[in-house]
């Protein structure tokens, strides 16, 4: 299986694959971070299961290789994920970043990448796993919300937390205003999490 090289190179940057399904705003935050010379990672491929995802446009505008892999073209989830695995192998990826990838992954993909696949979720896990996080935070009268970067495991949104960013919930907030405030923190959190992962994985590069 692909992934981290066995040769040690303290100067080599993490080779990232970013998986998306939509507009790719978190992808953009990673692209922007990668423009910084001392940032310890570079995006090697963006993979989308949606052919017209705007995130693919963002990648093309920044000369990043893309792959469109529609889950609808495969008879089983395992076949779909095996195709993604082959792309990760092709690009010798070190770290997989899920950034609005709207498919629940199975052990077919997760197990070979255990400890090297991360996701961003728009709540302060373990609260509000799954969808409609902002609506649920408001309905339950939470005083704060935020975002979480965590390892991906077979249990949805259950992996070990890497970092969290918090925002206050303000009187009069709607799901839309709260989402916008959390999104600002998401764009800060993902590059920070990649730095953390680079420090953890550097000895294997």
Give the model's pLDDT for residue 10: 62
What is the residue range of 139's domain?
Answer: 14-204
Catalytic residue among 60, 121, 132, 187: 121
> Annotated catalytic, 134?
no
pLDDT above 60 (res 59): yes
Looking at every residue in the chain, the average pLDDT score rounds to: 94
Domain count for the chain, please give it: 1
Nearest C-alpha neighbor of 120 from the set 143, 144, 87, 151: 151
User: Looking at residues 12-16, what average pLDDT do you find?
Assistant: 95
- Give the residue-averaged pLDDT of 177-201: 97
For residue 183, tell me if it sits in a domain.
Answer: yes
Residue 57 in domain: yes
* Cα–Cα distance measured from residue 30 to residue 24, given in angstroms and rounded to the nearest whole number: 10
pTM beyond 0.85: the answer is yes
Q: Would 26 be classed as within a structural domain?
A: yes
CATH of the domain at 36: 3.40.50.170
Q: Please report whether residue 9 resides in a domain.
A: no
- Model confidence over 117-171: pLDDT tens digits? 999 999 999 999 999 999 999 999 999 999 999 999 998 888 999 999 999 999 9
Give domain status of residue 8, yes or no: no
Give me the pLDDT at residue 155, please: 84
The mean per-residue pLDDT over the stretch 89-106 comes to 97
Q: How far is CA 119 from CA 6, 128, 138, 175, 193, in A?
A: 25, 15, 23, 21, 10
**Residue written as tokens 């692909």?**
2
Say how many residues make up the chain. Answer: 205
Please give the distance of CA 57 from its chain centroid, rounded to a whole number: 17
Residue among 72, 153, 157 nearest 106 (CA): 153
pLDDT at position 11, please? 74
Is 6 part of a structural domain of the chain? no
């Amino acid at each position: 299986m692909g992934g981290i090289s066995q040769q040690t190179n303290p100067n080599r940057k993490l080779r990232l694959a970013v998986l998306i399904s939509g507009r790719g705003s978190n992808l953009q935050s990673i692209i922007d971070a990668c423009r910084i010379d001392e940032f310890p990672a570079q995006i090697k491929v963006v993979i989308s299961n949606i052919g017209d995802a705007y995130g693919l446009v963002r990648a093309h505008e920044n000369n990043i290789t893309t792959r469109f892999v529609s889950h609808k073209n495969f008879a089983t989830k395992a076949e779909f994920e095996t195709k993604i695995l082959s792309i990760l192998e092709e690009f010798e990826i070190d770290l997989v970043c899920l950034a609005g990838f709207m498919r629940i992954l199975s052990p077919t993909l997760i197990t070979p990448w255990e400890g090297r696949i991360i996701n961003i979720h728009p709540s302060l896990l373990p609260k509000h796993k799954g969808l409609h996080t902002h609506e649920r935070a408001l309905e339950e009268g939470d005083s704060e919300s935020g975002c979480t970067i965590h390892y991906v495991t077979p249990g949805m949104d259950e992996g070990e937390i890497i970092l969290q960013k918090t925002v206050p919930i303000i009187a009069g907030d709607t799901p839309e205003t709260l989402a916008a405030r959390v999104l600002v923190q998401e764009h800060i959190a993902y590059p920070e999490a990649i730095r953390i992962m680079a420090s953890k994985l550097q000895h294997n590069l």
